[in-house]
Amino acid sequence: MRIQDLAAFAAAREAGLAKLLPSRPRIAVGMGTCGAGNGAEAVYHAFRDEIDTNGLDISLAPVGCFGFCAEEPLVNVWLPGRPLLVLRRVQPNHVGAILDAVAHGGLPPAETVLCKIEEWDHLTGHLKYGAGYPDVPSWDQVPFFHGQVKIVLRNCGLINPDDIEEYIGVGGYQALYKVLIDQNPTAVLEQMKASKLRGRGGAGFLTGNKWEFLAKAAGPEKYLICNADEGDPGAYMNRNEIESDPHSLIEGMVIAGYVTGAPRGIVYVRAEYPLAVLRLEQAIEQARAYGILGDNVLGRGFAFDLDMVEGAGAFVCGEETALIASLEGKAGRPRTRPPFPAQKGLNGKPTNINNVETWYNVAPIVAKGPAWFTETGSPKSSGTKVFSLVGKVRNTGLVEMPLGTPLATFIYDIGEGGTNGRDIKAVQTGGPSGGCIPADMFDTPVDYETLAQLGSIMGSGGMVVMDADNCMVDVARYFIEFTHSESCGKCVPCRVGLDKALRMLNRFTEGTASLDDLGLLDELCRMVRDTSLCALGGSAPNPVLTSLRHFRHEFEDHIVAKRCRAGVCQDLALSPCENSCPLHMNIPRFLQLYNEGRLEDAFLSVVMDNPLPASTGRVCQHPCDDRCRRAGIDEPVNMRDVHRLIADEILLSDKFEPMVARVREQRLEPTGREIAVVGAGPTGLACAYYLALFGHSVVVYDSRPAAGGMLRYALPEYRLPKHVLDREVELIERMGVRFMFNTSVGTDISLNDLARQYDAVFMAIGTWKETWVYLPGTELTGVLPALPFLEAASRKEEVPVGSKVVVIGGGNAAIDSARTARRLGAEVTVVYRRERKDMPAIPEEIEAAEDEGVKVAYLLSPHRIVGDKNGQVRALEAVVTKPGEFDTSGRRRPVPTDEVIRLECDTVILAVGEGVDPDFCRASGLTLNEDGTIMADRYTLETSRERFYAGGDLVTGASNVSNAMGLGKKAAREMDQRLMGQKRFPQLIPAFAYRMEPPETPAEVGRHVPPEAPASERVKSCAEVSLGLTPAAALAETSRCLRCDIRSTER
Amino acid sequence: MVEKVKVRIDGEVIAATAGQTILEVARANSKYIPALCYMEGLSATGACRLCVVEVSGVARLVPACTTPVAEGQSVVTSTPQIESYRKIALELLFAERNHVCAVCVSSGHCELQALAQEHGVTHVRYPYSCPRLPVDTTHPRYVLDHNRCILCGRCVRTCAEIEGAHVWDVAGRGIGSHLVSELQRPWGEATTCTSCGKCVQACPTGAMAEKGWAVEEMTKHKTVVSRLTSMREGS
Amino acid sequence: MDKVKIGTCWLDGCSGCHMSLLDVDESIVTILRKADIVYGPLVDAQEWPEGTDVAIIEGAVSSQDDRELVQTARARSKYLIALGDCAVTGNVPSMRNGIAVRKLLERVYVEGADVSAGIPTDGVPPLLRQAEPLRQTVKVDLHVPGCPPRPNAILMVLSELLEGREPDLGSKLRFG
């Protein structure tokens, strides 16, 4: 059917509309590459078979992709007069139920219903589907779609890409027809210029101006080229656009042909996109058949034809001069400009190249006018841009947003934050040529200029989200590896510079780089950026340069500490668990030793890595669980409880004495050096223990009467029985550590005294100051800070707790206070201002508290404490909050509502956080950090005063036991190295011979979790809640380890 | 009618002909801009990036060899940044392949070696790649040592543009790019090669040399190419 | 005033740089008025002495012994000079770098041997994977390229250092 007049055009439009809104139900399956990859083909065939077999009167069509990749395959279901239903994750086994629902006019299975569309603005046309389904959210109420403005993707996922009539049905080719009838190319050109549409390929050059160059260039031989050589890893918007709506591309190019006087267009498309190639080929054929391409376009006497050329898969051919060289049959290498393609392009003739997405904006601009277009977007960057949101974000997919939208909207609103609730660290925009933007800059609006200021680019619109599991050094290395292998090799900076940058980055990831390499790499990357011939080399260093700018500390970690915190760089870690452990325990080793029945060896292995294994075995936050690769099979190995058992088996038995002797054997020769440790908490104990093993003479000062710090005075007995801690302290003492209790440094003995008496001083007095909230009523009787409360309870002193207690806070101290108060017989409510998932306390502890009858009230922000006339607490008034915008911590900020509730109580425990003692810190005369903590070198822990070191919470602010001990251990190592002039730590660790082969097949048993005393019993006493693993369970647990510490198995 | 333009190079106002490149104008007026891939008489490709200069009003550095002069243009041929970039480019070339100057026939007559000296390159700060590369000795009179090739493409253009034989081209991509004669056929078996030897004369390093010379003995006649071009243009 | 203490050694090199050093002829007398050579091929000292002022190292780092010696020299010297192309670039010794050490040794000591073929292990230091310039192993304060560096360049460097000035090599030296 050749359209040569308006009547024929109108007829095609009617035919198309009749297919889109037929008089019978229509089912459309999203059959883009993404849908097909998730099984859409099988779903389509299942529908086909069912419909044919049962002779159902239902229209079935393939459509493109609606953009929500995380929920593929998507299926549209429409009943006449009702909204279009978008179904998600449809599998062939859903087909019967869906067809049933269609037959009865009901809803398909609830788990498949994503949203509804009542009407849709195709911009060139408008479809009214109908009303109904009150319980189904409208498409723009779904977080992933909320705020999206679909200009480029206006037809994607809604029309059949293989059917030109459906395109015409939604108003397609009408803009072209209008342009041909108006016969005023200059006016169209002015429209394009006024729209301020900028090239969507990345460079952002004004499209109207480019067209003008071509229009003015001498003809008649001129070319229009569509650059569909999309090659960025993680970017696939062009593919989806062509697969879902090829005719929009054709229409844009034909309009441009008329405006610029170019009679021919070429689409240069990646050969790796077979479906896009196929659909475009079919679309071009159909367009020819319908008279939209050819000698007489739409009967208006204008000739334009379009060809498609498949690119051979060179990334550099996305660069326009390389693309032209490739079209000319030459090697795809760029050449210098000038001359620009508008002067001398394909075959030496004037040529205009635009990206796929740019062409998709043409028809809407012509149809609706430039003023409409500039309404969307920011002043300098009008319109929208399609981004592919991928990586560590919950909702992945193609997102079309107005330019100028802040990054936070993409990541936290559209993407709904990190996968598994993890904190997002950075986003990489613009593909391998873009840069990494850190999370604290997520208020950045996404437009050409702002991204460039941050050292990144818009590029093709890739957006790769990264969390703490991504190593920024490795990310930079990955992208350089890509661009290095895609460099054409013509110019020196790109060919050799990227190769050298890659070699240097490899040294970083292997831990063999030096600090000088940082400057060298930075300078090299600047040189490559500033002197490369084309944009590939010019932008390839961006990932490195931005990472060096925003994540320099990660590079330094790889060099100085030889650590990759993300656990990505394998050469720098023994295993993921070891890397995540603040004490860097050799976890696979003690698991294997225990597995071989060697309890004593296993204990020695544990205690050489961690002097408080029984305590940490009870209270550690176990970051190892999050890293354990066993989680990929079932659940992580319960490493914490195994080392608790190993420790208990020795410490609490008659094996203790022989083991003390064995650990003492590990001590190095006495050095005669004397070191003071201030603070007998976990940090100080860890440090003192290792210093003693190194052969130094160690004295530990503490203002309290016994050792253990928070472990003894803040952790409740039911979590950590004190007789267990006593044994650990005894072991440390018998390594030669001497204690001076009831001695306050600063009052009883000055720092200057210590400096005179000792060769080095380590300070670790922790964070004992409860943060005070500025809340009316805190002066009332019955308001208690958490730490003194817990300390009094631990000393078994009388604690003035009433019968109704409210605890304010969400950390471990809040939960410990609540459970302690519960054991003292009170009714307890914990008030927390955010949501449960935001609580810093260990999740198991929160659960246990709830089991014991503690109520936890979320989204409540304390307003005031109400007292009676005697000054006694009567109630807490709290404002109900609701989750608001995401803050830079990636959590939703609590927003107060008008609702205030009153909680009757007689005691309020404040557990909103602990801080360092500011008086001590100021009096120390040492340089402090902004938050009042003591400043210590990131790697050596040395303070501003020579020979004075500091660690633990005193340096970091309130943290947890294992982090604190990790710093104590590190301080001992660094102090010893400074005093003795060599690295002696490896000498401490004895050699263990144990099986170094991974299990052939991992044991098929689930994670062993220790039993707990029943909640009803345990609230009656302070007896320990967790009963620990049995030896048999621990043995079985060790056989679950996958042995990530073994790298190769040379047999 | 030849259009005349006035440009300013390093502060000096110079009259030039429209269509000339910055490099041509600079060199014609005794202003030195270093270059390796550029050779008088051949088309310019802008590959070595040694000739980058600052042009007023242009944000990026531009290669002087391919950028035409324009009226009122102001060019700066050397700044501390440009010098440091040139130095890096030279270091990169040394680190890319095995330029063991001590045992090279062209030592003392090598453009790369001379530029390194001129720019004070006393050592290379980047890790050496030390690739294993072949030496093609199949041609009876000439030898191609890939270890010393810097992929400037002068031989390629000389053969294609002057001799018209197009024996040489660059195959592969990125760091794997390498010179090939015909379709990977050894030089001695390349039937299109006329053995004219102009590629050897055009080569800035010891990558292409005549057989029979020892270390430091191979001198080249660089003007062969430009003389031929100007004679042809004159005819 | 105490004399400046100079130590020299050659690693994987041909001794040509030391020859060039001696080629300063009678100027060596002027130098030795201000400096002592405390370690080197022509000196008796068995071990690199502590407190050396200037270390002059010829040759590439090619074996385990080379690495240890240059590390010792670095640790015990204030200022370290890489003398000559082998120390600066790897030069001729580095021409083996594209070949695996084992293959190299087999080619030379097994395939290339007429009598008593076999890779020697006794009394010879194990070769490193590659022969590398000094700066890959230690911090180098001054690179003096050349194969060998011209005697007058060496003289200039030493004279400047003895005068307490940082030598400015400018464009005086080239590789090769």
Tens of pLDDT, residue by residue over C145-167, are: 999 999 999 999 999 999 999 99
Top residue of B90, B113, B117, B125 to mutate, by most chain C CBs within 10 Å, is B117
The subunits that touch chain A, with at least 3 C-beta pairs less than 8 Å apart, are B
- Answer yes or no: are the C-beta atoms of A535 and A452 closer than 8 Å: no
> Which residues between 525 and 564 in chain A have a beta carbon less than 8 angstroms from any beta carbon of chain B?
527, 530-533, 538
DSSP structure class, residue A81 = B
Whole-number pLDDT of residue B1? 60
Q: Which residue, chain included where needed, has tokens 């498609």?
A: A308
ipTM for the predicted complex comes to 0.97
- Residue of A484, A503, A524 with shortest CB distance to B88: A524
Rounded Cα distance between A719 and A1010, Å, is: 13
Chain C within 8 Å of B108 (Cβ-Cβ)? yes
Measured between CA atoms, how close is B170 to chain A, in angstroms? Answer: 9
User: Could you tell me the pLDDT band of residue B122, with boundaries at 50, 70 and 90?
Assistant: very high
- Answer yes or no: are the C-beta atoms of C62 and C127 closer than 8 Å: yes
> Which residues between 99 and 138 in chain C have a beta carbon less than 8 angstroms from any beta carbon of chain B?
99, 130, 132-133, 135-136
Question: Is the Cβ pair A492, B61 closer than 8 Å?
Answer: no
Rounded Cα distance between A805 and A783, Å, is: 10
- Answer yes or no: are the C-beta atoms of A763 and A678 closer than 8 Å: yes
- Answer yes or no: are the C-beta atoms of A160 and A338 closer than 8 Å: no
User: Could you tell me the pLDDT band of residue A844, with boundaries at 50, 70 and 90?
Assistant: confident
Task: Report yes or no on B235 lying in a domain.
Answer: no
Question: Is the Cβ pair A527, B48 closer than 8 Å?
Answer: no
- Residue that is last in its domain, among A467, A495, A523: A467
Question: Is the Cβ pair A500, B173 closer than 8 Å?
Answer: no
Measured between CA atoms, how close is A266 to chain B, in angstroms? Answer: 25
Same domain, residue pair B67 and B105: no
Q: Does domain C4-96+128-162 have CATH number 3.40.50.700?
A: yes
**How deeply is B235 buried, as exposed, middle or buried, from its count of CB atoms within 10 A (0-12, 13-18, 19+)?**
exposed
Residue A490 CB coordination number (10 Å)? 29
Question: Is the Cβ pair B98, C88 closer than 8 Å?
Answer: no
Task: Report yes or no on A166 lying in a domain.
Answer: no
- Residue A288: is its pLDDT beyond 60? yes
Q: What is the CATH number of the domain that holds A479?
A: 1.20.1440.230
- Answer yes or no: are the C-beta atoms of A435 and A455 closer than 8 Å: yes
Same domain, residue pair B125 and B207: yes
Average pLDDT, chain A: 93
Same domain, residue pair B119 and B52: no
Rounded Cα distance between A269 and A266, Å, is: 9
Tell me chain C's radius of gyration from C-alpha atoms. Answer: 17
Same domain, residue pair A255 and A314: yes
Number of domains chain A is built from: 7
B85 contacts on A by Cβ (under 8 Å): 527, 530-531
Same domain, residue pair B15 and B32: yes
- Answer yes or no: are the C-beta atoms of A483 and A544 closer than 8 Å: no
Measured between CA atoms, how close is B102 to chain A, in angstroms? Answer: 23
Q: What angle do CA A940, A942, A947 make, to 5 degrees?
A: 125
- Residue of B49, B127, B174 with shortest CB distance to A500: B127
Q: What is the CATH number of the domain that holds A608?
A: 1.10.1060
Whole-number pLDDT of residue A203? 81
Chain C within 8 Å of B117 (Cβ-Cβ)? yes
Q: Rounded mean pLDDT of A773-798?
A: 88
Tens of pLDDT, residue by residue over C16-50, are: 999 999 999 899 899 999 999 999 998 889 999 99
Measured between CA atoms, how close is A495 to chain B, in angstroms? Answer: 5
Task: Report yes or no on A499 lying in a domain.
Answer: yes
Same domain, residue pair A479 and A462: no
Question: Is the Cβ pair B170, A532 closer than 8 Å?
Answer: no
B68 contacts on A by Cβ (under 8 Å): 338
Same domain, residue pair A688 and A637: no
Rounded Cα distance between A167 and A123, Å, is: 12
Q: Which alpha helices (DSSP H) does A742-798 contain, by range?
A: 751-757, 786-794
- Residue C117: is its pLDDT beyond 80? yes
Residue A690 CB coordination number (10 Å)? 25
- Residue B44: is its pLDDT beyond 80? yes
CA-closest candidate to residue A19, choices A127, A135, A154: A127
- Residue A385: is its pLDDT beyond 70? yes
Question: Is the Cβ pair C175, B132 closer than 8 Å?
Answer: no
Question: Is the Cβ pair A499, B52 closer than 8 Å?
Answer: no
User: Could you tell me the pLDDT band of residue A1051, with boundaries at 50, 70 and 90?
Assistant: very low
Q: What is the CATH number of the domain that holds B192?
A: 3.30.70.20
Q: What are phi and psi of A661, to 5 degrees?
A: -60, -40
Same domain, residue pair A934 and A905: no
Same domain, residue pair A956 and A1008: no
- Residue A1049: is its pLDDT beyond 60? no
Same domain, residue pair A181 and A279: yes
> Which domain does B110 fall in, by range?
84-221
Whole-number pLDDT of residue A65? 94
Rounded Cα distance between C159 and C153, Å, is: 10
User: Could you tell me the pLDDT band of residue C1, with boundaries at 50, 70 and 90?
Assistant: low
Same domain, residue pair A208 and A279: yes
Strand partners, B12: B9
**How deeply is C165 buried, as exposed, middle or buried, from its count of CB atoms within 10 A (0-12, 13-18, 19+)?**
exposed
Residue B77 CB coordination number (10 Å)? 19
Tokens of A924: 């120390």
- Residue that is last in its domain, among A885, A913, A941: A913
- Residue that is last in its domain, among B53, B77, B101: B77
pTM of the model: 0.91
Same domain, residue pair A795 and A711: no
User: Could you tell me the pLDDT band of residue A799, with boundaries at 50, 70 and 90?
Assistant: confident
Same domain, residue pair B142 and B163: yes
Question: Is the Cβ pair C89, B124 closer than 8 Å?
Answer: yes
Task: Report yes or no on A153 lying in a domain.
Answer: no
Whole-number pLDDT of residue A459? 85
| A384-391 vs A462-467, strand pairing mode | parallel
Task: Report yes or no on A433 lying in a domain.
Answer: yes
- Answer yes or no: are the C-beta atoms of A354 and A227 closer than 8 Å: yes
Q: What is the CATH number of the domain that holds A686?
A: 3.50.50.60
- Residue A932: is its pLDDT beyond 90? no
Question: Is the Cβ pair B49, A531 closer than 8 Å?
Answer: yes
Task: Report yes or no on B57 lying in a domain.
Answer: yes
Measured between CA atoms, how close is B124 to chain C, in angstroms? Answer: 7
Tell me chain A's radius of gyration from C-alpha atoms. Answer: 34
Q: Rounded mean pLDDT of B111-130?
A: 96
C90 contacts on B by Cβ (under 8 Å): 128, 130
- B65-B67-B70-B72 Cα dihedral, nearest 10 degrees: -80
Measured between CA atoms, how close is B19 to chain C, in angstroms? Answer: 35
Question: Is the Cβ pair C176, B101 closer than 8 Å?
Answer: yes
- Residue A414: is its pLDDT beyond 70? yes
Number of domains chain B is built from: 2
Helices A639-651 + A722-733 axis angle, to 10: 70
Tokens of A327: 């079209």
Whole-number pLDDT of residue C121? 85
Strand partners, C144: C83
Whole-number pLDDT of residue A233? 83
Same domain, residue pair B179 and B90: yes
Task: Report yes or no on A1047 lying in a domain.
Answer: no
Top residue of B125, B130, B145 to mutate, by most chain C CBs within 10 Å, is B130
Chain A within 8 Å of B46 (Cβ-Cβ)? yes
Top residue of C58, C89, C139, C169 to mutate, by most chain B CBs within 10 Å, is C89
Rounded Cα distance between A180 and A251, Å, is: 12
- Answer yes or no: are the C-beta atoms of A427 and A411 closer than 8 Å: yes
Same domain, residue pair A346 and A256: yes
Rounded Cα distance between A1038 and A1003, Å, is: 9
Q: What is the CATH number of the domain that holds A218?
A: 3.40.50.11540
Same domain, residue pair B202 and B162: yes
Tens of pLDDT, residue by residue over C101-112, are: 999 999 999 999
Determine the residue of chain B that is closest to C96 in CA distance: B130
Same domain, residue pair A627 and A691: no
Q: Amino acid letter at B66?
A: T
Tell me chain B's radius of gyration from C-alpha atoms. Answer: 18
Task: Report yes or no on B227 lying in a domain.
Answer: no
Whole-number pLDDT of residue A195? 96
Same domain, residue pair B189 and B169: yes
C97 contacts on B by Cβ (under 8 Å): 128, 130
- Residue that is last in its domain, among A556, A572, A588: A572
The subunits that touch chain B, with at least 3 C-beta pairs less than 8 Å apart, are A, C
> Which domain does A869 fall in, by range?
771-913
- Residue C123: is its pLDDT beyond 90? no
Same domain, residue pair B94 and B196: yes
SS3 call for A521: helix
Chain A within 8 Å of B93 (Cβ-Cβ)? yes
Tens of pLDDT, residue by residue over A470-515, are: 999 999 999 999 999 999 999 999 999 999 999 999 999 999 999 9
The subunits that touch chain C, with at least 3 C-beta pairs less than 8 Å apart, are B
Rounded Cα distance between A375 and A379, Å, is: 9
Helices A1031-1038 + A587-595 axis angle, to 10: 120
- Answer yes or no: are the C-beta atoms of C110 and C37 closer than 8 Å: no
